[in-house]
């Protein structure tokens, strides 16, 4: 299995960061197999969704409705509402797997692979890309 670690900085705001071009580059020319994308953090997830048409903004708004910062979270370290960031991976898992055919991701027309990070306390993120040849 081939694997690389991406080092990312998401800043001090909530983000949906499109990783598709980096994933494309990683699998290019590799033949058939599976791309596994994993974020080794307890406060971030990986989602496959449309970006650029507002769905990324809608996702963050929906997460705010589902996991409001001003809720009485039991997990209380960090900035106010940080407990919600630790619940996020239960709704948006820290991984995704995408089939690769002839060195190309088999995503749908409008699908993108995205890091979802609502944790404003830690802007330094890592994402592991792994290719399992088929």
Contacts of 100 (CB under 8 A, 6+ apart): 27, 30, 31, 32, 33, 34, 35, 106, 131, 134
Q: What percent of the chain has pLDDT over 70?
A: 100
Q: What percent of the chain has pLDDT over 90?
A: 89
For the chain, list the domains and their CATH numbers. 2-133 (2.60.120.460)
When pLDDT is cut at 50, 70 and 90, the band that residue 117 belongs to is very high
How do residues 7-23 score in pLDDT, each as one tens digit? 999 998 999 999 999 99
| Distance of alpha carbon 29 from alpha carbon 102, whole angstroms | 7
How do residues 78-88 score in pLDDT, each as one tens digit? 888 899 999 99
Q: What pTM, to 2 d.p., does this model score?
A: 0.95
């Amino acid at each position: 299995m081939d694997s690389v670690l991406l080092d990312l900085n998401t800043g001090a705001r909530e983000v949906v960061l499109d990783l598709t071009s980096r994933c494309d580059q990683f699998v290019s020319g590799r033949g058939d197999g599976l791309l596994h994308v994993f974020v080794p953090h307890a406060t971030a997830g990986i989602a496959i969704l449309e970006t650029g048409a507002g769905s990324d903004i809608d996702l963050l708004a929906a997460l705010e409705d589902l996991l409001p910062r001003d809720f009485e979270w039991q997990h209380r370290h960090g900035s106010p509402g940080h407990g919600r960031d630790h619940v996020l991976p239960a709704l948006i898992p820290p991984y995704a797997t995408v089939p690769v055919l002839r060195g190309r991701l088999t995503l749908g027309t409008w699908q993108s692979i995205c890091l979802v990070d609502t944790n404003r306390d830690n802007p330094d993120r890592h994402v592991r890309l792994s290719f399992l040849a088929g």
